[in-house]
Structure 1
């Protein structure tokens, strides 16, 4: 939960959530489901905008934290491809930071289509790990280490397919927006850098010596205020 809180409480994450709300374009009183709601940051904010929000997450600990953050909302422990909701019962559907975890996005998007009313709005998206940029004196090595980062998720480039998936599921007026977060605070990314380098070693993409040298350089960049990471997130909105 601390990891989820740290991600969602960054300024860039708050801006991304706000962008997704604008794409939903729901009026007060509308019913909205937030799938893979995590610790409930979006559920709390959408509830504060006067929406009737349901949070869904397969992790009971996440749901417990979300209930504390948004006590007036409704929550269910469930998976994205089997929502405990009636057909055509929602005006809005939101799922961000989910699709890199799924082997196949189609069942989840089909379920979204089922629960949305005709004319309802969907916003899905997340980070495409193939577009992550980290500055380094050895960019070739950095690109290989980023492949290690991709190897830690089931579908690291899934979000670039979501426009096709929504169209195939029967959604209309599909639009794609890119939200880019620029991170210059090394400490915000230190754990992810370590995980990426370790994964690259485990996949035999680089040696441990390569990884340690790269991590040391990134730490030096952090101490000298030279660290730079650029994290693009795709948001895909549509109408049922």
Structure 2
């Protein structure tokens, strides 16, 4: 849960959530579900905007934390492909930071189509790990280490398929936006960098010496205020 909290409280996370709310375009009193709600940051903000929000997550610990953050909201522990919601019962559907965890986004998007009323709005998205940029003096090595980062997720490039998936499931007026976060504080991403380098070693993509050298360079960049990472997030919106 501390990891989820750190992600949502990083600089740029609130801006990304706000961009997803604008794309949803729901008015006060509308019903909405936040799938993969995590610790409930978006549920809390949507509720403050006057929406009737339900939060859903497959992780019971996440739902418990979300209930503590938003005591008055409704929450369920459920998988994104099997929601405990009635057909056509919602005006809005939101799901971010989910699709890299799924083998196939199709069942989840089909379930979103089921619970939305005709004309309801959906916004889905997340990071495409194939587009992550990290500056380095050895960009070829960095690209291999990024593959290590990708290996830690089920579907690291799933979000680039979401436009097609929405169209295949009958959604219309599909639009795609890119929200880009620029990180210049090495400390914000240091744990993820170590994880990516470790994964690249485990997959025999690089040697431990390569990983240690690369991590040392990134640490030096951080101390010299030369660290740079660019993290694009795709937001895909549509109408039921």
- Count of aligned pairs: 240
CA distance in 2: counterparts of 1:208 and 1:184, whole angstroms: 25
Which residue number corresponds to residue 142 of structure 1? 142
Q: Is 1:89 paired with 2:89?
A: yes
Q: Is 1:48 paired with 2:48?
A: yes
CA distance in 1: counterparts of 2:160 and 2:58, whole angstroms: 24
Which residue number corresponds to residue 32 of structure 1? 32
Q: Normalization by structure 2: what TM-score? A: 1.00
Which residue number corresponds to residue 175 of structure 1? 175
Show CA shifts across 1:193-226 (max 9, x none). Answer: 0000000000000000000000000000000000
Which residue number corresponds to residue 209 of structure 1? 209
CA distance in 2: counterparts of 1:161 and 1:208, whole angstroms: 34
Aligned-residue RMSD, C-alpha: 0.4
Q: Is 1:123 paired with 2:123?
A: yes
Q: Secondary structure at the match of 2:12?
A: helix
Instruction: Give, in angstroms, the shift of residue 72 of structure 1.
Output: 1.2
Q: Normalization by structure 1: what TM-score? A: 1.00
Instruction: Give, in angstroms, the shift of residue 11 of structure 1.
Output: 2.1
CA distance in 1: counterparts of 2:236 and 2:71, whole angstroms: 29
Unmatched 5+ stretches in structure 2: none
CA distance in 1: counterparts of 2:14 and 2:216, whole angstroms: 30
Structure 1 ranges of 4+ moved more than 6 A:
none
CA distance in 1: counterparts of 2:175 and 2:13, whole angstroms: 20
CA distance in 2: counterparts of 1:11 and 1:96, whole angstroms: 17
Q: Secondary structure at the match of 1:165?
A: helix
CA distance in 1: counterparts of 2:174 and 2:11, whole angstroms: 27
CA distance in 1: counterparts of 2:70 and 2:179, whole angstroms: 26
Q: Is 1:60 paired with 2:57?
A: no
CA distance in 1: counterparts of 2:73 and 2:117, whole angstroms: 20
Instruction: Give, in angstroms, the shift of residue 37 of structure 1.
Output: 0.2
Which residue number corresponds to residue 22 of structure 2? 22
Which residue number corresponds to residue 194 of structure 2? 194
Show CA shifts across 1:130-153 (max 9, x none). Answer: 000000000000000000000000
Q: Secondary structure at the match of 1:11?
A: coil
Which residue number corresponds to residue 236 of structure 1? 236
